Structure 1
Amino acid sequence: MAMTSNSDPTTARDILRLARRRQRLTQAELAERAGVSQTVIARYESRRQQPTVGALQRLVAACGYTLEWSLRHAPDEAAAATGDTRFPGPIGRRLVGELDTVFAALDALGATDAHIHGGVADGSEGVGCPVLIGVCLPPDVDVVLVMAAAGRIGLAIGAHVTIVPHARVADYGFDDEGVPLTPLRRAS
C-alpha cells in the first residue's frame, strides 16, 4: 500500500521511508548512521522483510525521530454504541452490554438504587474479578431469589455476581458509595 502525502504511515516500511526521506537520507546514509548494511534498509523498504519493533525504533532514531506507541482497549460494541464508559474493563463492558438483563433481574426482586463496587467499578478489574452490586431491597425478599438474580446476571456477563443490601457492602471490604448503575434507555 503506497503512502500518500495526506495519509499517516501505516506500515513499518511507510514509517521508515517517511523518516528517512524527511531527513533527505539515502538508504546507504541511513544504513551507515544505524550501523547496518544498505541491503537491510532495502529489504525493509521493499517489504521483503519486516523489522522488529526494536529495529524499527533504532532506524527511526538514526533519522532523528522517535516512535510513539499506544495500546487502547477495543471498545465493546454496546459501550461504543451507547457511549457508556463508566465501567472500562472487559467485565464492565459486558455489564453495560447486558443492562436490560441486569435491570430485569433487579426489578424482579424489587431492588432499587443499584451501585457497582470493587474492581469493575474503578476499572482495575482482573481476571475472575467478582461483581458486587449494592442495592436497596424490600424487607421481605427471599434470599434464594436474590441468589438466583445474581446467578442470572452472572451468566449474562460471564462473572461471579453478588447482590447485597447497601448496609452489607462494607462486609465485602468496600466503604465507598460505588458507581451508580443506571439504565441507558429504560422504558418508564
Structure 2
Amino acid sequence: MTSDLAHTTARDILRLARRRQRLTQAELAERAGVSQTVVARYESRRQQLTVAALQRLVAACGYTLEWSLRHAPEAGVEAARDGRFSGPIGRRLVGELDTVLAALDGIGATDAHVHGGVADGSEGAGCPVLIGVGLPPDLDIRSVMAAAGRIGLAIDAHVTIAPHDRVADYGFHDEGVPLTPIRKAS
C-alpha cells in the first residue's frame, strides 16, 4: 500500500484498502462489525473517521496502518522558509539547529552565518559547511575545532567555524545566511 501514498485522506485510504481486496461496502461492513451505511458515510465524507475506526476497517481488509510521529523542531532557520538550506546537508542543519546553536553558544560564538552551497541550496555531494561567527578574542582554537566536530557529527558533514573576517580566506565572499530560530507565525 505504500506505493499509493498520494491517497492521504482517511476516506482515500479506506477506499483503496477495500477496493484492493475487491470487497463491497457491505462485505467490509460485515467483516468489521459495522453497518454498510457507516462504511458508505465514511467513504462519502459525510462522517469523519477516527484513527481507531480507520485502523479497524483497514484491518478488516487485511492491512495494517503504520503511523509515524516525528518531532518537528520549533527552532529552524529563517532561510528555510525561502528555499535556502534545501539540500540534504542544509536540511540536516535545520533539523539539528538546537544542537548547532548549543555548540556555538558553548564557545561564546555570536552572529552565526552559513556560507556557500549549503546556505543557498546549491550544495553538491560532500559540500563543506562554513559557519562564520563572532568569537571571543581569547578563545582557544581547540575549543572552536571541538565545536565544529560536534556540529559535523550532528549533521554528518565537514564543518569549519571561522571568524567573520576570515571567511574570505575560505573562498566565500557572500554575506552568508544567519542561523537564527524561526519565529512562530502568529
TM-score when normalising by structure 2? 0.55
Kindly report structure 1 stretches of 4+ aligned residues shifted beyond 6 Å: 79-83
- The residue number in structure 2 matching 1:153 is 151
Residue identity in the other structure for 1:172: Y
Unaligned residue ranges in structure 1 (runs of 5+): 2-6, 8-75
User: What CA distance in whole angstroms lies between the structure 2 residues aligned with 1:124 and 1:102?
Assistant: 21
- The residue number in structure 1 matching 2:168 is 170
Do the aligned partners of residues 129 and 79 (structure 1) sit closer, same or farther apart at CA in structure 2, a change above 3 Å counting?
farther
The answer on whether the counterparts of 1:78 and 1:96 sit within 8 Å (CA) in structure 2 is: no
Unaligned residue ranges in structure 2 (runs of 5+): 5-11, 13-69
- More relative contact order, 1 or 2 (CA 8 Å, 6+ apart): 2
Pairing 1:89–2:95 present: no
Q: How many pairs does the alignment contain?
A: 113
Do the aligned partners of residues 167 and 105 (structure 1) sit closer, same or farther apart at CA in structure 2, a change above 3 Å counting?
same
The answer on whether the counterparts of 1:117 and 1:131 sit within 8 Å (CA) in structure 2 is: yes
Answer with 1 or 2: which has the greater Rg: 1
Do the aligned partners of residues 81 and 183 (structure 1) sit closer, same or farther apart at CA in structure 2, a change above 3 Å counting?
closer
Name the SS for the 1:116 alignment partner: strand
Do the aligned partners of residues 121 and 145 (structure 1) sit closer, same or farther apart at CA in structure 2, a change above 3 Å counting?
same
Spell out the pairing of 1:20-99 with structure 2 (5 A cutoff).
Answer: 78=72, 84-85=80-81, 86-99=84-97
The answer on whether the counterparts of 1:130 and 1:161 sit within 8 Å (CA) in structure 2 is: yes
Q: 1:106 aligns with which of 104, 114, 121?
A: 104
User: What CA distance in whole angstroms lies between the structure 1 residues aligned with 2:74 and 2:145?
Assistant: 30
The alignment's C-alpha RMSD in Å is 2.9
| Matched-pair identity in % | 77
